[in-house]
Amino acid sequence: MIEPQIPKGFRDFLPQQMMLRRRLMATMSAIFERYGFVPLDTPCLEYARTLEGKYGEEGDKLIYRFEDRGGRAVALRYDLTIPLARVAAMYQLPKPFKRYQIAPVWRADKPQKGRFREFYQCDIDIIGESGACADAELLCVAHTVLQALGFDNYLIRINNRKILNALAERLGIATERIPDFLRALDKLDKTGPDAVLQDMQARGLLAGDAGRIVRDHLLAGGDNFEAVAALLAGSGDGSAGLAELELISRMLAADGVDGRYYKKDISLARGLDYYTGPIFEVVVTEPRIGSILGGGRYDGLIGLFTKQSMPATGISFGLERLVTVMEELGMHNQAGSLTQVLVTQFSADLMDDGVRLAALLRRSGLNTELYLAPDKLKKQLSYAASRGIPAVVVLGPDEARDGRATLKNMLTGDQDVLEQQRLAEAIRALLA
């Protein structure tokens, strides 16, 4: 006998969990399409060379890499962005190319609470449009999705790598040290302003008055954009970045997003090296679960695969985090049953009548389960009760002969004998 086990960091999703996950994915897909995004699917397996060297040193180590039977180095996809970049380079796609993809990715990470080796990402990206209108649209979609799922306590944080680059320049940080500077800043939420300042100093990034500027303007709340604008006066990158943030705010307002849901935040850095413009993050503020969405503009990334220049911007929802918050806050109905009515079986003789009746109910659009073998009525009723099926149709020999059936409301216990043709309508009334 083989011990039934799954690899550590991997999960089965049983039907009750799947119902929430499927609802989430369906809500997202519908809203993505509402905004003109179209679906794309890419293989779970890519050539290793397609993925390697894109996720930083730490990320690269987490790639599930192996050799296939032909000795080729392949890898399970690590995210949905690099495969999209490959697709954009491989095919002549009409631009702007606005795609969504909801699919699992794999990371050979140390499994821990809330961190898995296989998890779903839900991405939207816009390729071929360099204006900040595209970036803003992604955030409008994010807000619409979160509202539709019933979220309210969240904050969309917005910044721009152009501003951070200009600021680094103003601080006297050499271009090649900027990734170091951003990595240090990215730890702010985890370690706090003092630790970040110390870290930057220890890395030798800050000389002269740079420490004071970082403390007063970058790490103190992150929303004093007037002071930042003054600091960056004369910087082309700086003013471009600030203008993009303005445009994004304007579009969010025009789309009807209330100001309490978003915030320009100069201290937002994001971890990935490849961002080139606006960057985003959505944090849930209650419960404090951290980031449920991240993203930004990556105008240089597709250039790794093609000589054509293709601006691009995207965001990625973390499905697992959304599920966790919804479960913790009781934002979904755990007890729901997909099946709306159970048709019981009285005896082998009446099986045909039961099948016919179930077919009738299904044709009317009701999710109908037929009890699959004759059994004691009591057992069939307790089966329906244990599954949370709200209605049961009992079909005995007299009723079958007369073209009738008994409809039992499992919540109230009420029951009625009805013409079979009128059952569907009565069940709908019961469900309403």
Site residues (CB under 8 A) for a copy of itself, limited to 155-214: none
Among 191, 198, 306, 333, which residue interacts with a copy of itself (rule: CB under 8 A)? Answer: 306
Query: Measured from the CB atom, is 195 or 253 closer to a copy of itself?
Result: 253
Judged by CB under 8 A, does residue 408 bind a copy of itself?
Answer: no
- Residue 49 beta carbon to a copy of itself: minimum distance, rounded to whole angstroms: 6
Quote the DSSP letter at residue 373: S
Among 60, 216, 255, 273, which residue interacts with a copy of itself (rule: CB under 8 A)? Answer: 255
Question: Rule CB under 8 A: which of 106-135 touch a copy of itself?
Answer: 106, 108, 117-118, 126, 129, 131, 133-134
- Residue 198 beta carbon to a copy of itself: minimum distance, rounded to whole angstroms: 33
Quote the DSSP letter at residue 338: S
Distance CA 210, CA 195 (A): 16
Distance CA 65, CA 215 (A): 42
Query: Measured from the CB atom, is 115 or 250 closer to a copy of itself?
Result: 250
Among 79, 123, 137, 320, which residue interacts with a copy of itself (rule: CB under 8 A)? Answer: 137
Show Cβ contacts of residue 30 under 8 Å, excluding neighbours closer than 6 positions: none
Distance CA 347, CA 398 (A): 13
Distance CA 340, CA 358 (A): 12
Query: Measured from the CB atom, is 197 or 302 closer to a copy of itself?
Result: 302
Q: Name the one range near a copy of itself by CB under 8 A: 151-159, 235-243, 249-257, 413-421.
A: 249-257
Q: Name the one range near a copy of itself by CB under 8 A: 16-24, 195-203, 213-221, 229-237.
A: 16-24
Question: Residue 158: which of 276, 260, 284, 295 has the closest Cα?
Answer: 295
- Residue 429 beta carbon to a copy of itself: minimum distance, rounded to whole angstroms: 20
Angle formed by the axes of helices 193-202 and 178-185, nearest 10° = 160
Distance CA 5, CA 24 (A): 28
Strand ranges across the sheet with 262-264: 38-39, 97-106, 118-127, 312-318, 290-297, 278-284, 154-160, 262-264
Q: Name the one range near a copy of itself by CB under 8 A: 27-35, 283-291, 324-332, 397-405.
A: 27-35
**Count of positions on this chain that bind a copy of itself (CB under 8 A):** 96
Query: Measured from the CB atom, is 111 or 193 closer to a copy of itself?
Result: 111
Listed in order, strand segments (DSSP E) in 332-426 are 341-343, 368-370, 391-394, 404-409, 415-419
Exposed, middle or buried: residue 72 (CB in 10 Å: 0-12, 13-18, 19+)? Answer: exposed
Identify whether the C-beta of residue 393 lies closer than 8 Å to the C-beta of residue 381: no
Cα 126–Cα 107–Cα 82 angle in degrees, nearest 5: 25
Query: Measured from the CB atom, is 29 or 224 closer to a copy of itself?
Result: 29
Query: Measured from the CB atom, is 30 or 195 closer to a copy of itself?
Result: 30
Question: Rule CB under 8 A: which of 335-394 touch a copy of itself?
Answer: 338-339, 342, 351-353, 355-356, 358-359, 362, 365-370, 372-373, 386-387
- Residue 269 beta carbon to a copy of itself: minimum distance, rounded to whole angstroms: 26
Query: Measured from the CB atom, is 3 or 208 closer to a copy of itself?
Result: 3
Question: Rule CB under 8 A: which of 75-104 touch a copy of itself?
Answer: 76, 86-87, 89-91, 93-94, 96, 98-99, 104
Distance CA 54, CA 273 (A): 9
